[in-house]
Structure formats: C-alpha cells, structure tokens
C-alpha cells in the first residue's frame, strides 16, 4: 500500500523478494507481478499507479507512421525507450 508522500515518509511501491525475480508491486491489484530490476518496478508504478494527466505520452515522430500522433493507431504511452526502439527498427535512423 502506498503511503502519502511527504518530506519524511517514503512511498512504498513494492517489496524485495527472495526468488530470482526480486521485486513485486505493493498494490493489491497487481501484487502477483514480479520484476527483475528495481527500475522496472519503478516504471511500472509510475505508469500504472500515478496520475496519467501528468505523464508524457510518446508517439512516432515520422508523419506517415500509424503510430504517429495524427494517425494514432497506438502510441507508446510513457515509454520513450519503446518509441526510440520503434524508430530504429521500423524507420531506420530516419528522424523528423
């Protein structure tokens, strides 16, 4: 369960486990999810358990791509790394 953020109280976003996938989400709705890296747990928490209105959503910068904001079939949500991977793999090194 998350605690209210303050200057003295940390926010609990998960727990360290003793199995190979070390981290699990503290929210009851997804406590069965396990993450191998703390960074993955943090990203999960930021994407799933924070206010979406404060989040940057990424789309493909190539105008004719269906994953572009104008032709938005499906963007990449807050995953800039996935957007960059898409641009590299689908469009080569082309950038807008």
User: What are the tens digits of pLDDT across the range 48-85?
Assistant: 887 777 777 888 988 888 888 765 567 888 888 899 99
With beta carbons less than 8 A apart as the criterion, state whether 77 and 44 touch.
no
Q: Is the residue at 6 inside a domain?
A: no
Residues 22 and 44 in one domain: yes
Residues 48 and 62 in one domain: no
Q: Is the residue at 32 inside a domain?
A: yes
Q: Is the residue at 64 inside a domain?
A: yes
Structural domain of residue 94, as residue ranges?
A: 56-96
What was the pLDDT predicted at 73?
A: 64
pTM of the model: 0.56
Q: What is the mean pLDDT of residues 30-37?
A: 87
Q: Is the residue at 27 inside a domain?
A: yes
Residues 18 and 33 in one domain: yes
Q: Retrieve residue 78's tokens.
A: 């807050």
| Residue 8 CA: distances (Å) to CA of 15, 26, 38, 84 | 19, 20, 21, 37
């Amino acid at each position: 369960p998350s605690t209210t953020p303050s200057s003295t109280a940390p926010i609990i976003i998960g727990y360290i486990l003793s199995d190979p996938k070390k981290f699990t989400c503290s929210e009851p709705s997804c406590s069965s999810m396990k993450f191998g890296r703390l960074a993955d747990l943090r990203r999960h928490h930021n994407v799933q358990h924070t206010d979406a209105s404060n989040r940057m959503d990424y789309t493909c910068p190539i105008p004719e791509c269906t994953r572009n904001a104008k032709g938005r079939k499906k963007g990449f949500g807050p995953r800039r790394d996935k957007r960059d991977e898409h641009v590299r793999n689908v469009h080569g090194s082309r950038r807008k």
